[in-house]
Amino acid sequence: MTLDDLPFDAPDSRPTRNGARGRPKCKRHGQRRDPVTHETYYQVRVRDGYGCLGRAVGMPGTCEGWIELDHIRNGGLSLRGPSTTANLASLCRGHHRMKTEASRTWRPLLVAEVARREAQ
C-alpha cells in the first residue's frame, strides 16, 4: 500500500504546536522523532477495526474519548518506540491512560493482541 492508495489527501508534514512545518525534534536529545506516517496510521486503524483494543484485551470500563494510537513498547527515558504497525495500537483516551499508568499489566496483552491481528 502506498500513500496514493489512501482515501484521503495526506500532506507531507503537519504543523507543530508553534506553527512551524516539519517533524518536531525531541527536546532532550535534539533528534527527530520517528513520526507515524499517514500510511501506517491508516493500516493500524483498519487492522483494529476503527475502534479501541482496550475491551479486546480485557481492560475494564467503557471506551471514552477519541481513538489515539499508542506506542506499545517505548524506547525508554520518555522516548517513543518505533512507529511500526507491530508497535502501535488503537486505544480510546481512557484505555490509553489506563495502559500508561499500569503498563506492566496491559503491555503484554496488547502485544499479544496486535501480533494475533497482524498474523491474520
Mean pLDDT estimate for the chain: 79
Write the pLDDT tens digit of every residue in 21-44.
554 455 555 555 678 899 999 999
Q: What is the 3-state secondary structure (H, E, C) of the chain?
A: CCHHHCCCCCCCCCCCCCCCCCCCECCCCCCECCCCCHHHHHHHHHHCCCCCCCHHHCCCCCCCCCEEEEECCEEECCEECCCCHHHEEEEEHHHHHHHHHCHHHHHHHHHHHHHHHHHC
pLDDT digits 0-9 by tens, 58-83 = 999 999 889 999 999 887 666 678 88
Burial of 68 (0-12, 13-18, 19+ CB in 10 A): middle
Chain centroid offset of residue 75 CA: 14
| Per-residue pLDDT reduced to its tens digit, 85-96 | 999 999 999 999
Domain locations in the chain as residue ranges: 36-119
